[in-house]
Structure formats: structure tokens, C-alpha cells
Amino acid sequence: MDTSDQLEAKIKIAADAVVKSMAAGDDSIATAVVGRNTNAHLLINSSFLFRDASVKTTQSPRRLLVQVTASGQHIRAGTVAVSDDETITKNFKLITRQVPTGLVALDDAIQQEIRVMGDLLFILIGTIKGLRRHSQTIKGDNVQELRLDPSISSAVQKAEGGIYCVRSILPIDELFDFINHDLREVGGLSDKDRVAVRNGYDEVMDSAITEVTVPTGEVRRGETVLGKIASSMRSQATEYATALEALRRTPEDQQALHEVLRIAYNFSVDVIPLLSLFVSICDLKPLVFWCTVKEQWALRQAFAALPWASLGRKEKLEEYRAIVSQARSHAFHHVLPFDTTVEVDLSMLDVRAETIRLFVPFGKKEGRGVHLKDQKLADVLAEFTRAKERPVSNAFWDANLAVMKAAGKLAEEVLATLVLVHDARRSVSNR
């Protein structure tokens, strides 16, 4: 089976799984086909997640149209084609009327998409070579240069004279300790050396670059950009599951709760932008969506299973991030013992107003309004704030594990799809 056939088979398998899942949650699909001789079709939308300001692309009009048939009580997918003309606002639309005209056969649509895929997308399956060498000149008493050199055998190493090398980015105190020990015969690092090394090392860290090569031949998934990301997501989900299990055993364990919040927050900060990237990629390259439609639907279901209703939220990526962020902020940034705004009754106190300023220059807020006798003290007291409190139950954190796993699985399937498309393009070019 060549790679184009593999892509087609992948899409058909994914479409079948999604049709069965959609039918399980919507009786109208089964009603339309079970016990009847006619076939219905499902038009599947090209995106399942709510779009927010982070998604700059327009939703692709190329959508899968899947024939839905029944074998007894079992729903399954039949012929899969691509529609470019049907409108849809929901996740899917059941079509029982005559099959739409102007459909594109799936194998033809795949070839069309491969031809217009372009090269830029494949940086995601580029191979990570490692850190690039970098040198930074500094002006210390005994230290003249710092180098980032991944080829050295130890974490820190002296090259020659006043030149010191690090293999990778490490805490600066470890670099200080090595150089200070190396310079022990001249009294160690001087103050001038410390300042120079600190400033120079900041420049080294800011200038550090990891080199990636765009694939031209066989792709080793684990060594690619997206492969590394997917591996990290799996590790984070495993850590989260461990912390979550500890929290289930002892719901009052604040350390376990803080670990759950830490991982969930890091996931929301780093992975939600990645999911927005996937949405944009699928807008621009719908073949990626067709191949990953099963995982896209599973992720949507995982988000929908979160207890949004009790929080007054909808299944939006930004709303999800806000819930996690606010829960984390309240846990980590809440020291003073106040969960609500505090209001003090001043009606019986002497807080006389001294002046009121009117007609200040347009756009200038400083000095405007009423000025109290103790205005400066009032300004200082008014600086106190509190973290927003948005209570989140442990049921939310339980359901969040499914979100993390589904997001990781989607990343893995996007990787697998890009590798397949890359191989298909290579096959075409070698003919």
C-alpha cells in the first residue's frame, strides 16, 4: 500500500469512528438509517473547537461527507467524499435529502491537497540537531570569554586562558563555582569578574539557538520538533495523573492540590496555543484535519465533559485557560486572609476632603478629583488587591486528565499525518 492509499485508509477509519461516536450521542442519526433502505449522509465540520482571537485563519470549506449505513442496530460509515459547497454551523449536519452535487472523490481530494501542501508546515517534523555553538566576549579581570559548546564532555570546562565553556544552559551559580575554583590560586572570582560573567552569561542564554533541519528523507518521529512536544505532553499527563491520584486519596492534601494546579496551569499556558496552531493548520491544510478527525472529535468531547455548567462557562479554549489560571492564582497568590473585597465604613471618621480638582488637561488623570487630608495614606491602602476566587471542584481536575491525554493523542496523530504526507510527497517527486 503506497502512502496515498495509507492516507485514504487512515481517513476512512477515522471517519467511521467519528460517525459511530456522533450516532451514539444523537438518536436522529440512527433514526435516519436503521430499518430503512435509504442512506443518509453526515457532513462533518472542519473544526470542532470554538475559535478565539488567537486563531487568525478562516475555517476551511472543505468538509468530509460520510455516507451513514446500518447493519442491524450498528451504525457505520460508508463512502467518504469531500464537499466544498455545503454550509454548516454545528459540529455535523445530517443530510437525508439527495446527495449534494459537486463532490470530490476522497482519493482525488487527497492528491489535490498533497500538491498544494507547501514546505513550511514540515518544519514541525524537522529533526532537532541540538544547540548551536556560540561565543560571548566579556571584559573581566581573569575571564575574557564564555562559550556554549554542546560537544564538550562535562557540564563546564575550561578551554584556554580566560575562556570557559558550558555544554548546555545551567544555573549560573554552578558556573560561578567552577570558575571560582579554577581561579583559586589568584583569589577566585573578583567582583568585576562576577559582574562580567553574569552579564555575559545572560547574553549566552538569550542567544542560545537549537538547530532544526527540515526533513528530506526518512523521518525519525522521536527526534522531531513535534515528536519532542508529544513526548513532553505524555510525560506531563503521567505526572498529572500521579498528582491527581494523591489528591483523590487525600482531598485535603494541599501539596497534592498545588501539584495538580501547577501541571494544569503549565499545560494551559503551553498547550492551548499549540491547539490553536493545530486549528489554523487544519484551516489551511484540511488534509491534516481529515486524517486526525477522530482525535479532534475526542478532544472536543473531553472539553465538553468538563463541568462547565457549574462554572457558567462554555467549551472555549480561552475560557478553559481562564478557569485554570484563576484557580491556580487563588491557590498560589493568596496569602492574606480575605476572599472578598473589604469595605470599611468611614462615615464616623474624620477623613476630610481638602480639595477637588476640575478641568484638568484632557488625557491627564493624575491629580483629578477629590483629595483627602491623608490622600497619600489612602493611596497606599488602596494598593491592596486579592486574587480572583473561582472555586473549582476536584471533579474538574479529574475530567481535566482526559483533556490532557486527548491533546497529547492529537499531537501524536498530527505528527503521524505529517510524516505520511511527507512520504507521499517524496513518492510523487521520485516518480
Summary mean pLDDT of the chain = 86
In this structure, are residues 187 and 129 in contact, taking their beta carbons and an 8 Å threshold?
Answer: no
The arithmetic mean of pLDDT across residues 223-229, rounded, is: 94
Phi-psi region of 187 (alpha: psi -120 to 50; beta: other; left: phi over 0): left
**Contacts of the segment 239-246: beta carbons below 8 A, 24+ positions apart:** 239/263, 240/264, 240/267, 240/400, 240/401, 240/404, 241/401, 244/397, 244/398, 244/401
Name the E strands within 84-213: 92-95, 104-105, 127-131, 134-137, 145-148, 156-160, 163-166, 210-213
- Please state whether the predicted TM-score (pTM) of the whole model is above 0.85: no
Q: What is the per-residue pLDDT across 73-130, written as a single tens digit (0 to 9) for each?
A: 788 888 999 999 888 889 999 988 777 777 999 999 999 999 999 899 999 999 999 9
Report yes or no: 88 and 38 within 8 Å, Cβ to Cβ. Answer: no
Q: What pLDDT is attached to residue 333?
A: 47
317 or 415, which is more confident: 415
- Determine the pLDDT at residue 357: 73
For residue 367, the Cα-to-chain-centroid distance in whole angstroms is 44
